[in-house]
Each structure stands twice: as C-alpha cells, then as structure tokens.
Structure 1
Amino acid sequence: MSNGIRVAALDDIPQGEGLAVDRAITGTTDDIALLRDTDDAVYALDDTCTHEDASLADGWVEDGFVECPLHASRFCLKSGEVQGLPATRNTCPHRVEVRDGEVWLFPGETP
C-alpha cells in the first residue's frame, strides 16, 4: 500500500464542486476528479464522463452524486456507478483521504 500523493488542500475544493488532477501527476490513463460533497466528504473518480468527453470535475456535486455538466449523467461518488442516463458505463473510483486539511490520492486503489 502506498502513502498516496498529496494533490490539494481541502480548501482548494469548494463544497459542491470538483478539481481535476492531471494524469501526469497521478500516473493514470485519465485525469482524476476530486469531488467535495455538500457534507465535506471528498471522493475521487476518473474525470472523463463515460458518455461524452466532459470533465466530471466541472459537474455538480450534491448528496453523494456528481452530475456531468454536458448531458446530466449522474455517478455515485462512492462507487462510480451510473445513476442516471445517458451514460451507461460506470466510472472508476479511487481511494482518497483527508489528513490535517490536505487531500491525499491513492490512484488505482479501490476506496
């Protein structure tokens, strides 16, 4: 198990919004969206919507879901499962931890 990558301060991600972390930093095939729910919990999903080429980090985050800004597909923040069409494929979740106000990402590790 890795120690993770420090990718942001919690204050860098407003409640209900997201922040994309470049794949050059994460070593993944897609950028990763850090998503801060309205209850302050932070989640990480592959950034590109599985329906169209849109950034989930630019979507709306609320009540455990992120809604794609392009066609309103919804994904569960915890599992990456599709919760609303037009997307039909799940996205990939990644483990994330908040320690002392810092956000640590564990790319490729299941939450």
Structure 2
Amino acid sequence: TNNMSESTLQKVEAEVRRIIDQQYALARKLIEDNQDKMHAMAKALLEWETIDMDQLDDIMAGKEPRPPKDWTPRNSSVGGGGGPTGGTPAVSTDPSPTVA
C-alpha cells in the first residue's frame, strides 16, 4: 500500500530528477575543466605504472609530475621499454609451425 498521493509522488520524482541532473552537470563540468589533469595522470600511469602524492600535487598544480620516489629508469636498450618485461612480446613471432 502506498501512503503518498500521486501528486506527492510526482513532486518527489521531479525533485530527485532535478538533483540528479544538477549533480550530473556538475560532474561533467569538473571533468571538462580538469581534462588536462586527467590526461597528465594517465600519461604518468602509463610511464611509471603508479602515482604517488607528490606526483598528484605536481599534476594538480599544473606542473610536470616528477618520477616516483622508488622509480629507477629501465634500460632503454633492452626491448625499447613498454612494460615490466622491457617490451618483450608474450607470444612468439616465429611463423614456422612447431611439430610435437
């Protein structure tokens, strides 16, 4: 059983919709206004696989993020980077079939 009138339900639904629309617009504006910071975070994550508080502070201040405190550069002559294994492919690139 419903203790609210149809009119009250419509008012509640309208208010909920207004709040959702307002918060959606705010979230969208925050994302659009800070898109450069999100891209900087993504770039840092791709490069170092982690972001610490100092890096976040740099990014939020509009600066280039410094490397993580415990980060050591990979040897660029081994596989050209590209991940923890230095870019070594996980699958063999040898086209010849293997006979067991």
- Scaled by the length of structure 1, the TM-score of the pair is 0.18
Higher strand share: 1
- Scaled by the length of structure 2, the TM-score of the pair is 0.20
* Higher CA-based Rg: 2
Higher helix share: 2
